[in-house]
Amino acid sequence: MRIVVLPGDGIGPEITAATSNVLRVAAARFDLKLQLEEHAVGHASLEQFGTTVRPGLLEIVRSADGLILGPTATADFKDEHSGEVNPSKYFRKSFDLFANLRPAKTYPGLRNRFGAFDLVVVRENTEGFYADRNMEQGNSELLVTPDVVISLRRITRHCCERIAHAACKLAMNRRRHLTIVHKSNVLKLGDGMFLDICREVARGYPGLAVDDILVDAMMAHVVRRPDRFDVIVATNMFGDILSDLTAELSGSLGLGGSLNVGADFAMAQAAHGSAPDIAGRDVANPTSLILSAALLLAWHGERRGDARYAAAGRAIEDAVAAVMREGRATRDVGGDLGTAAMGQAIAEILQSDRASAAAAAR
């Protein structure tokens, strides 16, 4: 498996280094022929090549088996014509990575104020309110006069159907409960269609329990009782916002793993941004990207019918849980490990048998 690794900006290089360390250990333990190939993206690429995503990078990534994209400073990239392309948007759009899976769960040993839970937000990833990607050409934010802006949201039957299927399939492999999050009381056409299609698609999955909640009320419900949720499906922006909340409820945004999946490509990405407030200080939590990479291995294994990759993905998740269980963690979740030390702790457990022992004890 050849994986392209793009470290990105802010804490990106620190958390991708920790992730690559864990992946190398997983490769050795599970006998994976894993090749990690690093290239510049974001500010590093802008400095070197005059653009955040250099020409030719798409082909390099296309020829690989998967991509790990570190967080990038997207707020800094304002003018595409000057080479300031949002790398996250660029790869999601180029590979039509329509499903963004964002698991959030609590860990024994780690403080959490909202009770134990284990859920996944399935976010539509290609349209909705995202002005830089929901049009074939151009941008869906219009400056009508210097004082008037119109932002357009695109919702299509095709995208609703495919994200609904992705969420239903996932729920069928978990606790068989799907929650549809929407705002159909106000966005009667767009979210009305999203809700109808999700319900319609879900009827094709016997045994799947389905409910729906308005997005504003959802913020209260998920804080009140996160344990009542299993798989949650939402349009792009609602899913983006909700999944930051669920990651933080689990302990920290730094635990938020995320996989962007299309028909034949997947990109691992942390759920959070480049965190400039803590960049370069070896304090960021690398767990988000490490868990994302585990999801990428599992996706690849399923696609290739190679159980070793799924086993490696599971072992990484178990090693993360085992580190937490031992009370070792980064400072965002109450510990005192640095970014590199956290990666190393996970790698060491992965190398030893302690992860399997912890998994067996669960």
Burial class (CB in 10 A: 0-12, 13-18, 19+), 241: middle
With 0-12 / 13-18 / 19 or more C-beta atoms within 10 angstroms meaning exposed / middle / buried, residue 125 is buried
Q: Which is nearer to ligand NAD, 254 or 301 (CB)?
A: 254
Residue 74 engages ligand NAD in binding (rule: CB under 6 A): yes
Q: In a 3-state reduction of DSSP, which class is residue 12?
A: helix
230 vs 332 by CB, closer to ligand NAD:
332
For ligand NAD, which residue has the nearest CB? 273
Q: How many CB atoms lie within 10 A of CB 93?
A: 16
Our finding on whether 275 is near ligand NAD (CB under 6 A) is: yes
Nearer to ligand NAD, 179 or 274 (CB): 274
Q: Which of 135, 214, 276, 341 binds ligand NAD (CB under 6 A)?
A: 276
- The size of the interface with ligand NAD (CB under 6 A), counted in residues, is 24
Smallest distance from ligand NAD to CB 331, Å? 8
Nearest approach, Cβ of 339 to ligand NAD (angstroms)? 8
Site stretch for ligand NAD (CB under 6 A), options 103-111, 252-260, 309-317, 348-356: 252-260
Strands (E) located in the chain: 2-6, 35-38, 66-69, 99-105, 118-124, 141-145, 148-151, 177-182, 209-214, 231-234, 259-261, 266-269
Comparison of 90 and 309: residue with beta carbon closer to ligand NAD: 90
DSSP 253-313: GGG---EEE-SS-EEEE-SS---TTTTTTT-S-THHHHHHHHHHHHHHHHHHT-HHHHHHH
Q: Does 239 bind ligand NAD (CB under 6 A)?
A: no
Binding residue for ligand NAD, selected from 66, 190, 262, 273, defined by CB under 6 A: 273
Site residues, ligand NAD (CB under 6 A): 11, 15, 71-76, 88, 252-254, 269, 272-278, 284-285, 288, 332
